Amino acid sequence: MGSPKEAIAPSFKKPDACLAHRTFLISTGLKQSTLQHSSVTLFRSHQGTTYLLMSSGKAYPLVSSDSERLDVKPLLPDREVVVAKHVTFREDVFPSLGNSTHVAEPLLIPLTEETVTTDEVGSVESAGVGDIPSVQPLEVSHSPDRQIDAARTPHLEVEESLMREPPSGPPKRIKVIGPRHPTLISCDLDCSNVLPYSRRPKVLISSCDDAPRTYQGAIKSPNSKKWMGSISKELGSMNRLDVWDVVDLDPKFKLVGTTWVFKVKKDHLGNIMEHKARLCAQGFTQSAGIDFGQTYSPTGRLNLLRSLIAFASSRRLQFHQVDIKSAFLNAPLAETVYLAIPQGLNIDRRKHCLRLKKAIYGLKQAPLAWYERLRTWLQSVGFSSCVLDACVFYRMGTNPVWLYIHVDDIAIFGKDVIGFKKELANEFEIKDLGQADLLLGIKITHSEDFVSLDQQHFTESLLDLYGMSNCKAVSTPLIPGVHLEVASQEDVEEFQALNVSYRSAIGCINYLSTATRPDLSYPVSALSQFLENPGIRHWKAFLHVLKYLKGTQDIGLTYPKDINATIVAYTDADWGNCSTTRRSVTGFLATMCGSLVLWKTRKQPTVSLSTYEAEYKALCDLTLELMWLKQWSQECSILTVDNPIPVHEDNQSCINAAKGDCNLNNKRMKHIDIQLHFIKEAISSSFIKLIYTLTSDMLANFLTKSVGRANLSRALNSLGVLRLGESGDVENTDLD
């Protein structure tokens, strides 16, 4: 939408009161009005249109002025706003404002010689002006993120669509990036209630512009053509897959609402791949037993994904990835669900509604319906569902294939996966992503000697999110030997003054710790003990973790090739680690094909009376995980040799109690006799084999406590957690 040049402004009658007075003709919808004001903010967009910014948060295109020369400068490259104060204030026109020095609400004077006053821009009582283009006022939203000096002015960013929209279009917005100017506050507001700092990190403010939140926002956005194209594509998929029937609306029907969800999909380098729109049901409006029943749908474990990658790398198998397009739309519904007519569908919602035949995103039962649809088809073409994890499927034979399912993303492992992808494409519409390079937010790199997993892109965005991109790196995730304690009331109040989400922050690094960064497992476990009532010291400990990530963001897991598929495990415990409850910490890990696939840090649920007891509980927890991992590996024909799993333990009392004949009436053992018998049975059945290891050689030590740089580097290097070069080379993890 450009400046309304078509409207030729009539000549102005110069006011008699003051020759220095300035009068502006502005456009306000269907009318044009003049404005006289004591202080007006004028700015000119890069397209050449001049706007008047009011304190009410509205801006109007300037048609003309009674002055041949105005103090209006073009919008500078840094988008600084130029404020002109060379206009006089007429108290006879603004009797209610007195001698206020604040920027007042705009006065609109109609083009007739009679003058009227008004409180709101949209309620001007004036005579008609003839055929004048309609230009809607521009809403201006201010962001009070931080306090600045009063001499500075906010930055303005005018959307390009503002210049392209027809004059009769709806109101547009000018985004003000930066703090509210002190003089623009025109209400009774206690300044003590205004936060002097950013409530949320700046990166969230910039990322919220990537995708609109509503259908109306999509059709008005600068990328409206792309969003409308994605909406048409989504509705076309629903029509092609026969998702619903249009039926007459009955008052007895319980309608489920809908909403559009928009997302800009990017690759691991941050490049935009597509603008995606998804029509979702408002599942929160569903009622149990009426329009949904069972809802649980299995989700694959990352331990198994890493195990499959380790196995595939050791055998030099292909590792590909496909995405099922509009997956849920392929799943038939068992329940009768009526859907309200969504936006974008040209059907009278007052007379009709939609009866769903297939599941759509947002329905409570949709994930389960899709899983059953996929499982049924996979079993029909010869695949078997793994008993220990329903998201892993395998098909043996001359060309064995293994699948890892995560909703509509499928990781495929095998010597030749092309044949299966053709079968899949004949049944569903798929997007063949070829060799896997980004799965579940994990970057996958294939080289001649190994496959590596890392989350460097996520780590970089996390540092940017919390303003730590330029921080000084440290060599350990937590200060060695320091144990976190319950925060005092003073610490809690100091942290609450920051107004940041501790729970969200820990959740971010928890994702790293469970996917590719075992070195963060203990820090996350320690910090998560205080989610309910964190203090400033806990927040500083979190920032210390970010400083560690700054220096180690290129660390990742490596899975070498041509390695035998064997399992080796390590277990350790830190007795009485918690100073408040005196509970111990369990830490264990397991490698397959020479690389790390499983690790865990866990606070023990009960107090242990000795180091031996704490170590024994940790050994019991590890054995349970190993049973699950070994049985899964044997079922999927990954492990073919049934040898005992070597388990490294650094406590000789624990080993002697497990191997030898012990007195169950001993006060050190009688209260853990069930765990004692469980381990003895695992040893006698040749399931595990205990091996004594020196504490200095215990690779699981860093999972139970904060260790020094040298010990941490040695353990990570031994486990294949290495620095990944841009060329695909790896280096030892030097934490200097």
Per-residue model confidence (pLDDT) at position 4 = 39
DSSP-derived 3-state class of residue 717: helix
Per-residue model confidence (pLDDT) at position 598 = 95
One-letter amino acid at 154 equals P
Q: List the structure tokens of 565.
A: 């598929």
Give the residue, 334 or 677, on which the prediction is more confident.
Answer: 334
Residues above pLDDT 90, as percent of the chain: 43
Min mean pLDDT across 208-222, 330-344, 502-516 is at 208-222
- CB-based contacts of 78, cutoff 8 Å, min separation 6: 155
Whole-number average pLDDT of the chain: 76
Min mean pLDDT across 191-195, 307-311, 374-378 is at 191-195
How far is residue 121 from each of residues 53, 57, 241, 530, 623, measured CA to CA in Å? 12, 11, 50, 51, 73
Other CB atoms within 10 Å distance of the CB of residue 507: 13
Could you tell me the pLDDT band of residue 42, with boundaries at 50, 70 and 90? low
DSSP-derived 3-state class of residue 250: coil
Min mean pLDDT across 21-30, 212-221, 696-705, 720-729 is at 21-30
Bridge partners (DSSP) of residue 413 are 319, 402
For residue 678, which phi and psi values (nearest 5 degrees)? -60, -45
Per-residue model confidence (pLDDT) at position 664 = 53
One-letter amino acid at 540 equals K
Element (DSSP H or E) covering residue 546: helix 536-552
pLDDT digits (tens, 9 = 90+) for 212-259: 889 998 888 888 899 999 999 999 889 999 999 999 999 889 999 999
How far is residue 378 from each of residues 16, 371, 424, 543, measured CA to CA in Å? 88, 10, 9, 46
Other CB atoms within 10 Å distance of the CB of residue 435: 11
pLDDT digits (tens, 9 = 90+) for 640-685: 778 899 999 998 888 888 887 655 545 566 667 778 888 888 998 9
Alpha helices in 596-718 (DSSP H): 611-635, 652-659, 673-684, 709-718
- CATH 2.30.30.90 corresponds to the domain 557-705: no
Min mean pLDDT across 77-91, 659-673, 713-727 is at 77-91
User: Which segments of the chain belong to CATH 3.30.420.10?
Assistant: 557-705
Q: Got the DSSP string for 152-217?
A: ---EEEE-THHHHS-TTSPP-EEEEESPPPGGG--S---GGGS-SS-SS-HHHHHHTTSS-SSHHH
Taking a C-beta distance cutoff of 8 angstroms, is the pair 340, 286 a contact? Answer: no
Q: Is 0.85 surpassed by the pTM of this model? A: no
Per-residue pLDDT, averaged over 90-115, amounts to: 39
pLDDT digits (tens, 9 = 90+) for 280-301: 999 998 988 888 888 899 988 9
Q: Strands 567-574, 645-649: parallel, antiparallel or unpaired by DSSP?
A: parallel
Give the residue, 375 or 677, on which the prediction is more confident.
Answer: 375
- CB-based contacts of 657, cutoff 8 Å, min separation 6: 612, 616, 669, 676
